Structure 1
């Protein structure tokens, strides 16, 4: 099964108030194993970069000024993600910006049924705990020491590892199922063990010989505590 783990960086929180997508990073996974194929691009937002946003991801307006517009790379992006499930952390946010940019350049939106939200998965699996990407990396022992700022491709790489842990680790037979409750795609554990030769159950009761040997062993103790 092919899935795309992705993350975005933006100028702010809401595309409907003028914020834009400035970076996207995508990781291809097949059967929950990264294939090494990625898509990563910075975009010129054609606007200023708020100080608060730059503190998060470190992307300045000057750095982005010579980067392509989203519309110039949209075909490559759509070709990479195909029709496969898209996995993101707090996916409503990333889907909102992705779909806004798609519609701005005349493309249809990515359907929400393709959305897999790891934040939803984390809340269900670890209720009451912290569910940020940093917290989940700490919980699962994933090294994030090289993450000094947010970055779309780096965060997608970390999220890919978190996603594997959230869905049960690298166990054969665990597959995804779609939950149309409106909270995003969730996992269902469907374990299909390999069938091998039938083995008769092993006897667990001791034999007469073993009982005799055990009795002789106990009688070898001088003044054992259990006889006092």
Structure 2
């Protein structure tokens, strides 16, 4: 494994708490799963896996209430299957009929420094080695390249990223310590049709959240 550090920042963020069924309410800090998705937006291959190890909060935690328009339904999978077989099916949605307004409690003006390990899965690419993927990621991130724009919880909240190479020149995390409660660690995809969320008890200590490993006793299904 090789460790990398990304600075992620943006104007707004929403890392939705799963217990909030109607209104969108964000966790106080970016979740490991959302951080992993940002790394994967820059580089993802079947032969690699990202592991989030540490999250540094660089700006004070500030909140904002927003009301957004959302679409209240999705296109029918049956219609999609019919269209794929050459049949006639409606694949559109009338936004005016399906529009819903929902309030949300979001984060604003956020910045994080996320430390992650890049693991090479040799069994999935027998003709390569770990250095191939290390160099690939370093080349892409240094050029600002990504497969899709990283985002902070919601796709409309774009994340700006840069590779951190010299911690000595970087600003310190915020001076704040408190309990964050149970936070989403990631989803267990052993059953792709029914992924299971797993949680851990998050603590902010001097602006830093340490993320336990996936197989740790601290991570609960």
Q: TM-score, normalised by structure 1?
A: 0.23
Structure in which a larger fraction of residues adopt strand: 2
Structure in which a larger fraction of residues adopt helix: 1
